[in-house]
Amino acid sequence: MNPPRPRVASSRVADAEEAGLRGGTAPLQAENMDHRGSTSTQKSKVPREHVTSEKRTERVVIQTKEKMQGRTRNPVRESPSAGNRGEGDKSRSRRANTAGPLSPNLRKKEKETPDAPWNPHASLMPYTTAPLASRVSVPPLSSTLPQSLQPKPLRDLSTDAQEKAILEDLLFVFMGFEGQYIQYQAQYDPTAEKDRLTGPAFQLPSGLDPTLRDLTRSMLKMATHYSALEAFVEVQSRAEYGAVSHALCATIRKLLKDYLILVAQLETQLLNNPNFTLHVLHLHTMPTSQCLAQLYSLGQELLRRNGLLDQDIDESIDDFDDVDNILEQLREGGDLIPGAMSSKKICKGGNVLRLLTERLATFSGDPTTKALLETLLRESSRPYMTMLNEWLHHGVIKDPHAEFLVKEQKWIKREKLEEDYTDEYWEKRYTIRDNEVPPQLDSVRDKVLLAGKYLNVVRECGGVDVSKAVKDVPKTFDDPRFLENVNAAYTYANASLLNLLLTKNSLTTRFRSLKHYFFLDRSDFFSYFLELGASELRKPAKNVNESKLQSLLDLVLRQPGSIAAQDPFKEDVKVRMNKIGLTKWLMQVVSVSGIDQDNPEAALEKYQAPQAGSEDDKDIVGFDALELDYTVPFPLSLVISRKTVLRYQLIFRHLLSLRHLESMLSSAWLDQSKILGWRHKSTDRRLELWKRRAWNLRAKMLVFIQQLLYFCTAEVVEPNWQSLMDRVNGTDADGSEVTVNGTKQVNRTVDELMQDHVDFLDTCLKECMLTQAKLLKIHSKLLTCCTMFASWTAAPLGRALISADPGLSANPATSDGRGYDPARIGKLEDTLKRYEDHFGRHLRILMDSLNYFAATESVVLLKLAHALSSISKED
């Protein structure tokens, strides 16, 4: 065994020994003054005459005994957990200063310059939301030490002694404390959070050997990194940084615990291995130093993203610019304080995982760093995967820290579906936080969102047991079953909701019911309803009694033999009066640029809040204001939502206006066949020619309306309806079937089904010429012309014909007493000429417009143009 290597005594030992030699006190007694726990038994007095001869021997004994004695600790090296250690240091220093008799000269000197009493103490720090954060105050700085406790300068020590002193200091510095010689730089403030997060910078004393200085400086970075990581773990463990950051801090805390075990092992080597040098220490700490450097770099980047380091003034001003979060907090009853809302400055959840993934890709060529980052990513992703599995398999979001990629707007309730014309429940209740999606979920983010949304609907209908624990699912991002889990959950959720809609809630039967009522398919019941309610519907819209109309509709729907009598959903149909005309509203929407095909809801929202007080609204009658409403229960209201019911209402009002105008023109013909003025063959050839022209114009108008009605129903609605049904039932070219739980189902998604339904209605609106401003204007003028002509040719015109017919006016039995008026025929011809010119001119404009839009918009308009061409031909 190698002989023990001599080491340099501490400065306090040397000072006491010097004083003992001057005052005649034995060196061992001086040693006992400094080492209160010494077990030495050598207390015999040395004769004065042998002092000189035994000086060297006694010094060897002192050095050897100090080697055997446990290392004393500077009072400044306080552990954060040592709350009551200040008093022990106080008594220890007091005993060290008063333990033995000193020389009279030294006593005199102490009396002349007394040191301030050294009285360090610890206190409790304020409470934080980090449960494992230390609450003990930081130790006092070495700059506050009394002069009597300052160590001997390094320049007075040999190289070996310097190495031993630095070795001992480094072990304390590695744990974040100051040593006797290695101390914090003057600008470091341990009470400032930003300084602690950056890490302390250490300074080396003067007089240190250059080779030792270079080695020591290279190892001090590790101490800086360790101290900064300890502060990072305490700060990032606060509640507002989320569960992913908490898991990351827990993993780093484990690594720091391994680091402290390494320091303990190095201390053992220092005490027991005489060959342990600064070079050996450097070799032992190199791998750990690289690991801590990577952790430190990661921590600093995360702190910068959180705004805790190098925060820009402009960025801090923008903290309250997140209007959506502020409004959400207000809706939920929150307060507008920084702690009550998630600031956009906080990097948490998916952003933390993204940072780890990006660094892993950057350092993939370094095996050690790659293994470290893989460990951090694996452990940090565990709480995120727990939330993901809960969302995928139960349709529930358990996200107390608002860090999951799916955001839930809790203030949007299911009950809002009944009056929600913008689909807020489906579109806005659950949304994706686009800036907080982990890279691993980028490719499947939509599937993750839809899987949870579908399952949430099934769960609200009682189809999912949320009490069952999720088993056999991946727990981390590096699990090979990760993407398979997402795809399987999405497939199951979609199949479950489709089965719920198509089978249990009879979606296709609902579609047929809507077709009967809104598209006037097999509408014998509705013709009967219009006849019964004609007296009420002729009134101005504001005077119509809706309750009476509702009673009439209920009566008609229950009429035996009617197609509606067999409809199980007839109770859901309601009568409603809209105070604004269809054409007027559509012109408001499309007068500038037409309905936006990418976002038609933006324009349709205005339909429910029309501008009040307009002139046309006062003259609207019941026939023009009548519309049907339809109540749809959840979950069918997701597919047949308010925005789709709105489209049904628009098409219904258009078809109803054509039906009503057709009946008006037909009634005009019936009236003409009953009135004597029309049936009597006049002797005046001009009057007979006028009657033929009027009959001809009425017939043209009737053919025009019938062709338009036929086109809208047979050429537009019916083909598109069949296409929709084929897609719903999976019998189209793109459809396929899958077997779920033993039953065959269409291999489609619910969102595709919803989109197909909206597309069907949008196509019908477009091909019925309700989305083009030019076609709307022409169409409106033609219908207005037909309506005015049908009203003009009604009963009052018969009396005008009698006064224009010399034969009838001369007969007292048929004359109304006004007599024959030769000028009457001229007025009738002028009026009819205006109707003919107006109808013919606008019909030609409509033909040209149909040919143009058939080439640019929809080719189906060519069929209508061809059908109307026979009307526009000259007789």
Domain assignment present for 244:
yes
E-strand stretches of 382-475:
406-408, 430-432
Residues 463 and 504: their CA atoms lie apart, in Å, by 11
Over residues 26-49, mean pLDDT: 37
Say which residue, 573 or 467, is predicted with more confidence.
573
Q: Give the number of residues written for the chain.
A: 875
Q: Residue 325: what pLDDT? A: 57
Rounded to the nearest 10 degrees, the angle between the axes of helix 642-674 and helix 773-792 is 30
Non-local CB neighbours of 703 within 8 Å, separated by 6+ positions: 870, 871
Quick check: bond before 635 cis, omega within 30? yes
Tell me how far apart the terminal alpha carbons of the chain are, to the nearest angstrom.
132
Rounded (10°) CA dihedral 833, 838, 840, 843? -160
Amino acid at 754: M
DSSP calls for 63-74: HHHHHHSPPP--
Q: Of 233, 496, 247, 181, whose CA–CA distance to 380 is shortest?
A: 247
Kindly state whether residues 490 and 401 are assigned to the same domain: yes
The residue out of 481, 499, 517 marking a domain boundary is 499
Kindly state whether residues 760 and 856 are assigned to the same domain: yes
DSSP type of residue 713: I
Which residue is associated with the tokens 């090979």? 480
Q: Token pair for residue 86?
A: 């200040």
DSSP type of residue 401: T
**Cα dihedral across residues 668, 672, 674, 676: positive or negative:** positive
Q: Token pair for residue 539?
A: 């009134």
Which residue segment(s) compose the domain that 178 sits in?
Answer: 142-310
Q: Token pair for residue 337?
A: 């304080």
Kindly state whether residues 292 and 435 are assigned to the same domain: no
Say which residue, 241 or 412, is predicted with more confidence.
241
Per residue, the 3-state secondary structure of 795-820, as one string, reads: HHHHHHHHHHCHHHHHCCCCCCCCCC
Amino acid at 540: P
Domain assignment present for 350:
no
Kindly state whether residues 486 and 521 are assigned to the same domain: no
Non-local CB neighbours of 104 within 8 Å, separated by 6+ positions: 23
> Are 130 and 160 contacting, i.e. CB atoms less than 8 angstroms apart?
no
The 10s digit of each residue's pLDDT in 479-537 is 888 899 999 999 988 888 888 888 888 888 899 889 888 988 877 788 888 888 888 88
> Are 458 and 464 contacting, i.e. CB atoms less than 8 angstroms apart?
yes
Say which residue, 819 or 206, is predicted with more confidence.
206
Over residues 846-874, mean pLDDT: 84
Q: Which range has highest mean pLDDT (371-385, 573-587, 825-839)?
A: 371-385
Q: What whole-number percentage of the chain has pLDDT above 70?
A: 70
Q: What whole-number percentage of the chain has pLDDT above 90?
A: 22
Q: What are the φ and ψ backbone dihedral angles of 434, each rounded to 5 degrees?
A: -60, -35
Q: How many CB atoms lie within 10 A of CB 871?
A: 16
Residue 412 pLDDT class (50, 70, 90 cuts): confident
The residue out of 293, 310, 327 marking a domain boundary is 310
Domain assignment present for 352:
no
Domain assignment present for 43:
no
Residues 4 and 40: their CA atoms lie apart, in Å, by 18
Kindly state whether residues 782 and 867 are assigned to the same domain: yes
Kindly state whether residues 440 and 531 are assigned to the same domain: no
What CATH number has the domain bearing residue 511? 1.20.120.1900
C-alpha 224 chain-centroid distance: 38
Q: Token pair for residue 48?
A: 């004065």
Instruction: Please count the structural domains in the chain.
Output: 4
Kindly state whether residues 717 and 799 are assigned to the same domain: yes
Q: Token pair for residue 465?
A: 């047991």
The two counts, helices (H) then strands (E), for the chain are 35, 8
The residue out of 310, 343, 368 marking a domain boundary is 310
* Burial label, 414 (beta-carbon count in 10 A; 0-12, 13-18, 19+): middle
Which segment of 70-74, 247-251, 389-393 scores lowest on mean pLDDT?
Answer: 70-74
Q: Residue 616: what pLDDT? A: 47
> Are 138 and 191 contacting, i.e. CB atoms less than 8 angstroms apart?
yes
Kindly state whether residues 286 and 401 are assigned to the same domain: no
Domain assignment present for 403:
yes
Q: How many CB atoms lie within 10 A of CB 169?
A: 24
Q: pTM of the predicted model, to two decimals? A: 0.68
Over residues 80-105, mean pLDDT: 41
Q: Residue 820: what pLDDT? A: 58
Kindly state whether residues 483 and 551 are assigned to the same domain: no
C-alpha 738 chain-centroid distance: 32
Rounded to the nearest 10 degrees, the angle between the axes of helix 278-305 and helix 242-272 is 170
Domain assignment present for 219:
yes
Kindly state whether residues 156 and 272 are assigned to the same domain: yes
Domain assignment present for 131:
no
Domain assignment present for 770:
yes
Residues 239 and 339: their CA atoms lie apart, in Å, by 10
Kindly state whether residues 428 and 541 are assigned to the same domain: no
Kindly state whether residues 713 and 813 are assigned to the same domain: yes
